[in-house]
Structure 1
Amino acid sequence: LQAAYEASLEAADLTLDRRNRLDAKITALAATDRYAPVVRALMCLRGISVLTAFGLAVEIGDWTRFTGSTIGAYLGLVPSEHSSGASRSQGGITKTGNTHARRLLVEAAWHHRRPYANASRDMRARWDAADEASRVRGHQGNHRLHRKWDQFEARHKRRVIANVAVA
């Protein structure tokens, strides 16, 4: 029993070491000139750290090809629709597009549920690394996304549905 425990503990330690090495490499790659501006701008939003921002930057690529209304459709975060004549019925999200980027946004959206009173020390450090325009947009976005959560809560929407809508 002790040998099995030690073998499992060693496997867990090796896995954590491997994860930490990969995180360090991804963080270094995110700081390169190619990704740094997008990563820093995305990190001004709550729930988006280096790994999430880098994942979104890599998965989405050229952000200029999207507007606020088209990126949701690209990622499959828009409701499906069944229309016939004058009737229009919306269903669940389409789930088309990039699964990884959609999952990253849905996970990040949970952070906007809590009230947004004061920015944490971590968030302030991220804002200091970003340019002024990204800082202002991030601050506005954090407020707007929390207000969205509040609106859904006031309408007694299920939390998982509200979270996808915020994403």
Structure 2
Amino acid sequence: MAEYCQAIEDAGVRLDRLTQLVVETAASWSMAPVVAAYQAMRGVAFMTAVTFVVEIGDVRRFDNPRQLMAYLGLVLSESSTGERVKRGGITKAGNTRVRRVLIEGAWTYRFPARVSPTIQTRLEGLPRTVREIAWRGQVRLCARYRKLMAAGKPKVVAVTAIAREMAAFLWAIGQEVAPTAKVQSLSSVQSATERGPAFDTSTERAIAWEPGPMAFKLGCIRTRRSSHSPPRWHASSGSF
């Protein structure tokens, strides 16, 4: 038993060390402003924001939030033929890592909307539009959770629905904040985090990692935005 306890303690120390390395590396990352903006959302702390950015890249490559929801596998599956319409659970066909952290963060919306001291600290220095989106998102999602629970929905179903809408609000925030011009080299990110990805805005590519030491692979080729303007967030109505 003592050996198991020591293994858990060692894992905790290693986790703290790697987390600190991610914090130090992200400070000079081109996507640092985006990471900071995402943390305005309730349930999106630093590591959740970093995970979202390194897995998704620049959300402006999605023309609307529905595309992002589908990419994350958070939309309902459907098996319809003719006049028969049958919908099931979420597809789970998208990015599992982002879907997991969003669902974890969605549990925080069980409680009434408020700006905690922690969130207030994260809001400092952010654009007004970002703060407005985050607050409207918190008000809507907290009310949405209570409505789903009052309708008799299971907690897991309600939380998953909240996670889906969280992705939409993160998409809206991503439209308001752009990466900095400075791009950090992949080698520096790789040596610091041992397995973390980096988004390269100059080549419009994302380097995504798979589980395992130093297991980098090239993926998520970023598509250029279409000529028409994507749907924008309307602060007055709290909708897209």
What pairs with 1:14-93 in structure 2 (closer than 5 Å)?
A: 14-66=10-62, 67-93=64-90
The Cα shift of 1:101 comes to 0.6
AA aligned to 2:6 is E
Bigger relative contact order, structure 1 or 2 (CA pairs below 8 A, ≥6 apart): 2
Distance in 1, Cα, partners of 2:51 & 2:138: 20
The residue that corresponds to 2:160 in the other structure is 164
* Contact 1:80/1:91, CA 8 A, preserved across alignment: yes
1:112 aligns with 109
* 1:58-111: CA deviation from partner (whole Å, max 9, x where unpaired): 000121022221111010001100111111110011000111011111111111
Please say which of residues 29-38 and 133-142 is displaced more in the overlay.
29-38
Q: Distance in 2 between matches of 1:57 and 1:38?
A: 8
- Percent of paired sites with the same residue: 37
Structure 1 stretches of 4+ with a deviation exceeding 3 A read 7-10
Q: Indicate the RMSD between aligned Cα atoms, in angstroms.
A: 1.4
Between stretches 10-19 and 93-102, larger displacement belongs to: 10-19
Which structure has the highest helix share of the two? 1
Q: What TM-score, normalized by structure 1, do the two folds share?
A: 0.91
Q: Unpaired runs of 5+ in structure 1?
A: none
Deviation at 1:130, TM superposition (A): 2.2
Could you tell me how far apart the structure 1 residues matched to 2:28 and 2:140 are? 30
SS at match of 1:80: strand
Q: Which moved more, 1:30-39 or 1:59-68?
A: 30-39
- Cα offset for 1:143? 0.9
How many residue pairs were aligned?
162
